[in-house]
Amino acid sequence: MKIYVASSFLNKDAAREMQDLLKRYGHEITYDWTQHPSSTDWGIFREECKKDLQGIVDADALVVVLPGRLGTASELGIALALDKLVFVWYPDVPTMQATLDNSVFWHHINVWITDDAIRLVQELEYAQEELVYVRGSKAIPTEA
């Protein structure tokens, strides 16, 4: 399955960890934004934005690694507008609910949430193997 991994640039190490896990399970990353250079140049921002957007368009699903920031929320919105499945990994359970309460879009029928990275990959595998997208399921965080 082709996957775009979204997160904050400040959280790029966790995003890389998720990308590595997904690759080990045979998934393709559509665009690795974690390699962006750190810059304040608007021209670079515009070019990277185009690549990010194309990565989402080319993906079968979006994997969100939280916590994120405004860009992460934008990527979530783009994926939902394109009717993509969204798999959210939030390893920090104690603060997860506060983030999820900030927007109704985390509760969209195409969004699946878990604090377990392996379970997230298993759900991706299920969606790919069955060629059926399970809509409307919500993960219950495992006990910390």
Q: What is the pLDDT of residues 50-77, one digit of tens each?
A: 999 999 999 999 999 987 888 888 999 9
Pick the closest to residue 95 from 39, 38, 41, 144 (CA basis): 144
Pick the closest to residue 117 from 85, 97, 93 (CA basis): 93
**CA 90/CA 116 separation, integer angstroms:** 8
Q: What is the pTM of this model?
A: 0.83
Q: Which CATH number fits domain 2-130: 3.55.10.10, 3.20.20.80, 3.20.20.30, 3.40.50.450?
A: 3.40.50.450
Q: Which residue has the tokens 């990275």?
A: 117
Cα separations (Å) of 31 from 18, 52, 58, 104, 132?
13, 7, 9, 27, 24
Q: How far is CA 47 from the centre of its chain?
A: 21
> Which of the listed ranges 21-25, 35-39, 40-44, 71-75 does the model predict with the highest average pLDDT?
21-25
